[in-house]
Each structure stands twice: as structure tokens, then as C-alpha cells.
Amino acid sequence: MGRDASRTEAFSDAVIAIVLTLMAVELLQLGPEQAREHGVAAALAHEWPAYLAYVITFAIVGQVWLTHHNMWRYVARVDQLLLVFNLLLLLFVAAIPFTASLLAQNLRGTVADQRLTAALYVGAVLGEALFFNLSWWWARRRGLLRADLDPRLARAVSRRFMVGPVLYVVAFSLVFINPVLSLCAYLLLVGVYLVPGPGDVRA
Amino acid sequence: MGRDASRTEAFSDAVIAIVLTLMAVELLQLGPEQAREHGVAAALAHEWPAYLAYVITFAIVGQVWLTHHNMWRYVARVDQLLLVFNLLLLLFVAAIPFTASLLAQNLRGTVADQRLTAALYVGAVLGEALFFNLSWWWARRRGLLRADLDPRLARAVSRRFMVGPVLYVVAFSLVFINPVLSLCAYLLLVGVYLVPGPGDVRA
Amino acid sequence: MGRDASRTEAFSDAVIAIVLTLMAVELLQLGPEQAREHGVAAALAHEWPAYLAYVITFAIVGQVWLTHHNMWRYVARVDQLLLVFNLLLLLFVAAIPFTASLLAQNLRGTVADQRLTAALYVGAVLGEALFFNLSWWWARRRGLLRADLDPRLARAVSRRFMVGPVLYVVAFSLVFINPVLSLCAYLLLVGVYLVPGPGDVRA
Amino acid sequence: MGRDASRTEAFSDAVIAIVLTLMAVELLQLGPEQAREHGVAAALAHEWPAYLAYVITFAIVGQVWLTHHNMWRYVARVDQLLLVFNLLLLLFVAAIPFTASLLAQNLRGTVADQRLTAALYVGAVLGEALFFNLSWWWARRRGLLRADLDPRLARAVSRRFMVGPVLYVVAFSLVFINPVLSLCAYLLLVGVYLVPGPGDVRA
């Protein structure tokens, strides 16, 4: 039955890999037109929000993969509901490039548009975080985790998963001060996750 | 020879993952223009059929993955014709975003266009369901399933696979009353599949 | 070292899966505009070459996957040159949707354009067939195949691989009579491959 | 724990496969318009920089896959930082098609644009090479490599990885003479890598 967990990992990897590169497709499409009208240097300078959004989305989605990788190492078996939670997680992950793109295009828009698009972006990220929490909670409750997993580690991972959404809401709230500040806070948050915590892979 | 079945699973996963995220690419492309003309809030409100279609397609294709996952757990070996049936299944799955997109764009179109696009959409879904049925029937007939599979379970899965297309045709027929009602019926159908049935993974 | 061959399979699967669905992305993009101008039924009728090209490309690329699957079952180890041949195979496979799309758009073009685009299409298919032949020849020569592979089967596969390109050139030459006839001959050729031959998977 | 390394390989494969085919998507989109205006033969002749860029990018990204494949064969375990280095490697790999596309579009642009786009392209390639070096250095330092790996081979791979970036900078500098010459130098460099070196797979 171990094949079940590894097929779910492979499928999630494919979806996350596509989402990670979707922003690069977006870059491909917006480059040419701008360059034709204004020259390459001016076009690239003009498109900085798109590049910032590319890097931030890559960072967020890259971190989603890291978290998925770290969590699923402990999953021994799957059931129907865990697979459904995982699909819903992917639904929100797949919406991140769309909301990130909207956000980037409105960094220089009206204040109302900045806040709306920031809210949509954080909504996609929170949806993803919610289904990470639900997946972990369900897998623990139904005994789908590996038998040799230390219960204290499982609890520590649960706590860590619950902190994430709170920090994202804080980063979002900075949009009321300045939208670029809010984007930078997301980047900082991803940096925080690189400090090894419970459940992370260690050599 | 077990590698054969797992390579087929991995390939199908890649195709399904791309199809699942195709709609997100579509969202990326229709967002910007609309927003520039009408403001973000108005643009998003105006585009609700696209979001509805995104969620429904994600639900349908997500359920295709679940069903594929649940069925292929029992496949021990493959032969040429089973691989061909699986490729034809993927041909119809890959057509779902195209037909879903046509359907969404015509929710506010003429009655004739609503019915035509709804028919194309259900056609793609029925084609996919047909090749699930053929795959299962062929795998049973040729002894490609795992030796330890209970024959009663195999028959129960067969019955379940045959019910799906009937329910899709019922959901489709609602388009003659109201096209949005028909779309909602598809969503409801996916919900029905979450109730664990024979052949679903259980912890 | 068996991981080497399975990683190559997984990578090739990912590339082939993307190529298989590229045509579906193309459909997504050409649908809307046409529909807005002429109504859905007229737009779909007008676009029939695109649908024919979608089905034929899916058939050709699907058969590439089948052939790749059947061939790599016998590969036990890889070396640098086999990987390079496999990458060059993928280079031509990835060009198939582009040439198929050009071909479809010119089915109603000038005779010169029909022949040029048919030649480009068959060029992509022949390039792919060439590197299948080179991969198999090199793997046999360098002893990279499974030790338990019957040498007579290996020779039969070699012969079968060499027949493919000849048949493709015949199908191509029909473009001088009628371009649609030529496309249909490609479809027929794929059908021929479904008749089980040496090296195909058997239950 | 071996599953960790193979999941990282599978995920990287999916990203690299998408990047490899991104250029083919680009071809699909630029073909039709040109053909409609100028006829197919003229359009294809006019688009030669795009085809050159397609082949070169396929060659560079194909070689990235080969190098990744050859390096990760020796990785036995992963830790958080190795995964982060690998994600950053993928960030630069995913930027290659965008910069290659810019480069191709400006082969006939102003001298300033030629140099800027060539610098961006080599920047993406150097970023990728940097994170290959960091991954290998970190894996060696933290004992993440296979225990049976000959230390002399490990040192030889390190030296080889450090030569790559130097050669890329030389190829880049040719842009000050002629941009097409610089592109051809990249192709030549990929050819050099086909000469088997330390760490490459051998039968």
C-alpha cells in the first residue's frame, strides 16, 4: 500500500512543478510587446513588479513543495479524505500564480485595487495553509502516519503548521501601510522557514 | 513487470496534473485585460463563470485522478490494449478544459450555444467515463488485476463505474432548464463520489 | 544503477505528457475569438482542421509514448550517449505540436504551403523515429539491455523500428495528391501499430 | 530515507521537462500570425532566430538535466539546505526560456539591446551553474553523498563544475564581437560536455 503515498507525492509534485513554472510562462508572454514599444532596458525596468511577483511566487510555491515533502515523508498510507484534502490544497496552490499576477499588476493601481488583490493573494495562500493543517490533522487522527513517528514530533509539526497562517495574515495586513512592504514581508516569511524546525529533513 | 503499471500511473499523473492546471493558465490570461478596462473588482465580478468553470473542472479532473488512483491500485500488469484505452481516456480528459472553457463563455450566450457547449462538455466527460469502463472490463477479462483482489469487489467497482455516465447525462439534461443549474449538478455529483464506495482507498 | 533507467523514463514521460497536452492548450486559445465572431457552431465547424490535428497529434505522440514504454522496459542501464539520444528524441517530439499546428492551418492554404508544412511535420516525425533507432542500436551494441532479453526479440524490434520511418514517408508523399488524405494515412499508421508486434507488452 | 532523494529528482525532472517544452509553446504562439501575413516559407525564414534559440535552449536545458542526473546519482540523503539550493537552481533554470526568448528577439536589435539581453541570458545560466556548485559543495561537506563514492571522483566533479561558469562567461563575451557567434559558442559548449568526463554515467 506504500505505492499509494508515493503516487500521491508524484502527482502533487507534477502539479506544484507546473505552478512553479506558470509564472515563467507569464514572463515569456509579457516580455515581447513591452520591449517592442519601449526598448529592452526600459521595458524590463517598467516590468519590475512582474519580476518581484515571479520571485515571490517561486519562493512561496517552492516552500509549499518543501513543506509537502517534509510532511509526506511521515505518511505511510492514504485514505479517500486525505486524497481529497490534498487535491483541495493543490486547488489553492494552482490559484497562487493567478492571484500573484493580479497583485503585481495592481501594485501601482488604486488603493482599493491594491487591497483587493492583496486579499485575494493571501486568500489563496491561507486556503493552501488550511488544507496542510487539515491533511496533517486527519492523517494523525486516522493513524495514517508512520508507526515510528515520535508523537512529540507530530505535535510540534501541528503547532508549526498553525503558526504559518497567522504570520501570513500579519504580512497581508501590511498592505494597508504599503503594498510593496507587504510583498517583502512574504519573502521574509519564506526566509524564516529555512531555519530548520521540527519535521524538517536533517542529514 | 510491476514497473509497467507504475510507469503508466506516473505518465497518467503527469497528463492529469497538466490538465488540472491548464484552467489556471486560462485564468492568468483572461485576468489582465478585463482588469485594465473595468477595474479589478468589476472585472472579477464579470468573470464569475470562468471561476465557476475553474472550480468545477478542478473538481471533475481531481475526481478523475482519484478514480484512476483507486482503479490502478488493483492493476498488476498491463498489455498493449490496456495502454491504448488509458491513452484514449487521457485524450478525453485533456479535452475537458477546452470544453469547460467554451461552456463557461456561453453561460450568457444564446440558448442554442448553451446547449451545444453543454453537450460538448458532457461528451468529453462521457468519453472519459467510457474508457474507464473499458479499461476495467479489459483488465478483468484478461487477468491483469492483482491476484488477491476479491471478485465481489471487482464486480462492485464495475457496477459503480457504469452508474457514473448515467448520472452525468442527468446533470447534462438540466441544461434544458438552466445552464448554471446543470453546472451545479456536476459539482454535486463530485461530492457524491466522496462518500466512500467499493474500491476506494481505506486506511 | 536501475534508478538511472527509471529516472530517464520518468523524465521522458513528463516531456511527452506536456507535448500531448500542448495541443489542448492551443485549442483553448483559438476557441474564444472564433466563437465571438461567428457563433459557437459555425466557429467549431470552421476549426475542424485544428480538431483533426489535435486527434492526429495525440495519436502520434501517444504512440511515441507506447513505443518508448515498450523499448525502455528492456533497458537495464544507461550511458551518456544513450541519454543524449533520448534528449534528441524528445527535441523532435516537442516540435511535433508546432509542425502539426502549421500543417492544420495550411490545409486550406496554397499548394506550396501545404507541401512545405507537410514536409516539416514529417521531418519532426522522422527525426523522432531516427533517434528511436539510434537509441535501440546503441543500447544493443553497448550491452545496456536486460541480460534476459532474447536476441531474436531484440533483432525483431530493430526491424520493426526501421519499418516505421518508411511508412511515414509513404504517408507524407500522399500530400502531393491531397493533404487531408495524407493526414488520414498518419492516423491509419497509428492504428497499424495497435496490432501487437514483437517487443509489445503482453499480459 | 532514500525516498527523499528520489522525490527531489522526480520534482526537478518535472520542472526541467516543463522548461524544456516552454520554448515549444512559444513557437506555437509565434508561428500563426507571421504565416498569415507573409506566407509560410517567408515566415519560417524570418523566424530563424526563434528556431536557433529553441535548439540552443533545448541543448542548454537538456544538458542541465544530464548534469542533474549525473550529480544526483551520488546523493544518498537530503537536508533542508540542499533542497533550498536545488529550488534556487530550478528558479534560474525556469528563467532560461524567458531570457533566451528576449535574446532571440534582439539578435537584430540595437547593439545595446543585444548586449543587455545576452547578459541576462548568461546571468540565468550562471545562476544555475552557481547552485549546481553550491549543491555539490554542501552535499560533500555534510556527508549527504553515497558512502561508496570515491573521494577523488568527488573532487574531479567539483573541478568540472567550476570550469562550466568560466566557459559560459567566455561564450558571453563574444557578444561584443557578434551576437550570433556568442549563441553558437553556447552550442559548442554543450557539445564539449558530451565528451565523457568524471561523474558521467558509463555503461
pLDDT digits (tens, 9 = 90+) for D156-200: 888 888 887 888 888 888 888 887 788 788 778 877 766 666 667
Residue B98: its chain C contacts at CB < 8 A? 24, 27-28, 31
| Integer Cα distance of C134 and C153 in angstroms | 17
Residue C69: its chain B contacts at CB < 8 A? 4, 7-8, 11, 83
Select the highest-mean-pLDDT range: A26-30, A173-177, D26-30. A173-177
**Mean pLDDT across A167-193:** 80
pTM value? 0.87
Pair D72, D5: CB distance under 8 Å:
yes
Closest of A168, A147, A186 to residue A52, by C-alpha: A186
Nearest residue in chain C measured CA to CA from D17: C15
Interchain pair C17, B19: CB under 8 A:
no
| Integer Cα distance of C18 and B135 in angstroms | 23
Residue A28: its chain B contacts at CB < 8 A? none
> Does the pLDDT at position B166 exceed 50?
yes
Q: What would the grid cell of residue B58 be?
A: 478542478
Counting residues of chain C whose pLDDT is more than 70, the rounded percentage is: 87
Pair D114, D107: CB distance under 8 Å:
yes
| Residues of chain A with a CB closer than 8 angstroms to some CB in chain D | 6, 9-10, 13-14, 16-18, 20-21, 24-25, 27-29, 31-32, 35, 39-41, 44, 55, 58, 62, 65-66, 69, 73, 194, 196, 200-203
> Does the pLDDT at position A1 exceed 50?
no
> Does the pLDDT at position B82 exceed 90?
yes
- Out of A25, A58, A201, the one facing D4 most closely (by C-beta) is A201
Pair B7, C69: CB distance under 8 Å:
yes
In chain C, the N- to C-terminal Cα span, in Å, equals 27
Interchain pair C14, D18: CB under 8 A:
yes
- At residue B75, φ and ψ (nearest 5 deg) are -85, 120
Residue D10: its chain A contacts at CB < 8 A? 9-10, 13
**Mean pLDDT across A66-89:** 91
Over residues A102-112, the pLDDT tens digits come to 887 787 788 88
Find which of A83, A86, A108, A116 to mutate to test the B interface (most B CBs within 10 Å of its CB).
A83
Q: How far is D98 from chain C (nearest CA, A)?
A: 18
> Does the pLDDT at position A33 exceed 60?
no
| Integer Cα distance of C103 and C116 in angstroms | 9
| Integer Cα distance of B67 and B165 in angstroms | 14
Over residues C70-86, the pLDDT tens digits come to 899 899 999 889 999 99
**Mean pLDDT across B181-195:** 76
**Mean pLDDT across C46-73:** 84
**Mean pLDDT across B95-123:** 84
pLDDT at D172 (0 to 100): 82
Could you tell me which residue, C23 or C131, shows the higher pLDDT? C131
The model's confidence at residue B55, banded by pLDDT at 50, 70 and 90, is confident
> Does the pLDDT at position D155 exceed 70?
yes
Closest of A98, A23, C201, A196 to residue B82, by C-alpha: C201
**Mean pLDDT across B135-157:** 89
Q: Which of A93-97, B20-24, B89-93, C59-63 has the lowest mean pLDDT?
A: B20-24
Question: For the residues of C20-43, what is the DSSP string, one character each?
Answer: HHHHHHHHHHHHHHHHHHH-HHHH
Residues 6+ apart with CB under 8 A from C73: B3, B4, C201
The model's confidence at residue B202, banded by pLDDT at 50, 70 and 90, is low
Q: Which of A36-50, A163-177, C7-21 has the lowest mean pLDDT?
A: A36-50
Closest of A57, A36, A34, A37 to residue A46, by C-alpha: A34
Q: Which of B70-84, C7-21, C75-89, C92-106 has the lowest mean pLDDT?
A: C92-106
Q: How far is B11 from chain C (nearest CA, A)?
A: 5
Interchain pair C196, B80: CB under 8 A:
yes
- At residue D190, φ and ψ (nearest 5 deg) are -60, -40
**Mean pLDDT across A190-195:** 71
Q: How far is B114 from chain C (nearest CA, A)?
A: 9
> Does the pLDDT at position B4 exceed 80?
no
CA-angle at B14, arms to B9 and B17, nearest 5°: 115
| Residues of chain C with a CB closer than 8 angstroms to some CB in chain D | 3-4, 7-8, 10-11, 14-15, 18-19, 22, 25-26, 29, 77-81, 83-84, 87, 90-91, 94-95, 97-98, 101-102, 105-106, 109-110, 112-113, 116-117, 120, 142-144
**Mean pLDDT across A44-57:** 78
> Does the pLDDT at position D139 exceed 60?
yes
pLDDT at B100 (0 to 100): 84
Counting residues of chain C whose pLDDT is more than 90, the rounded percentage is: 19
**Mean pLDDT across C87-93:** 93
pLDDT at C102 (0 to 100): 83
Question: For the residues of D63-129, what is the DSSP string, one character each?
Answer: HHHHHHHHHHTTB----HHHHHHHHHHHHHHHHHHHHHHHHHHTTTS-HHHHHHHHHHHHHHHHHHH
Please report where in the chains the cell 479535452 appears, as a residue.
B95
> What SS3 class is residue A75?
strand
pLDDT at D195 (0 to 100): 67
Residue A21: its chain D contacts at CB < 8 A? 15, 18-19, 22, 94
> Does the pLDDT at position B1 exceed 50?
no
Pair B58, B117: CB distance under 8 Å:
no
pLDDT at A2 (0 to 100): 47
pLDDT at C133 (0 to 100): 92
pLDDT at D1 (0 to 100): 40
Residue C24: its chain B contacts at CB < 8 A? 19, 22, 94-95, 97-98
The model's confidence at residue C2, banded by pLDDT at 50, 70 and 90, is very low
Provide Rg for chain A, Cα atoms.
Answer: 18
Closest of B140, B37, B32, B30 to residue B85, by C-alpha: B140
**Mean pLDDT across C175-191:** 80
Q: What is the DSSP letter of D150?
A: -
ipTM: 0.85
Over residues D95-126, the pLDDT tens digits come to 888 888 888 778 778 888 888 888 888 889 88
In chain B, the N- to C-terminal Cα span, in Å, equals 27
Could you tell me which residue, A115 or D86, shows the higher pLDDT? D86
Interchain pair C40, B91: CB under 8 A:
no
The model's confidence at residue B140, banded by pLDDT at 50, 70 and 90, is very high
Question: For the residues of A109-176, what is the DSSP string, one character each?
Answer: S-HHHHHHHHHHHHHHHHHHHHHHHHHHHHHHHTT-B-TTS-HHHHHHHHHHHHHHHHHHHHHHHGGG
Print burial letters for B41-72: b (CB count within 10 Å at least 16), e (below 16): eebbeebebbebbbbbbbbbbbbbbbbbbbbb
> Does the pLDDT at position A89 exceed 90?
yes
> Does the pLDDT at position A137 exceed 90?
yes
- Out of C20, C41, C201, the one facing B116 most closely (by C-beta) is C41
The model's confidence at residue B38, banded by pLDDT at 50, 70 and 90, is low
> Does the pLDDT at position D48 exceed 90?
no
Question: A184: exposed, middle or buried (C-beta count within 10 Å: 0-12, 13-18, 19+)?
Answer: middle
In chain A, the N- to C-terminal Cα span, in Å, equals 27
**Mean pLDDT across A159-167:** 82
> Does the pLDDT at position D76 exceed 80?
yes
Residue A44: its chain D contacts at CB < 8 A? 116, 120
Nearest residue in chain B measured CA to CA from C5: B3
- Out of B15, B84, B102, the one facing C31 most closely (by C-beta) is B102
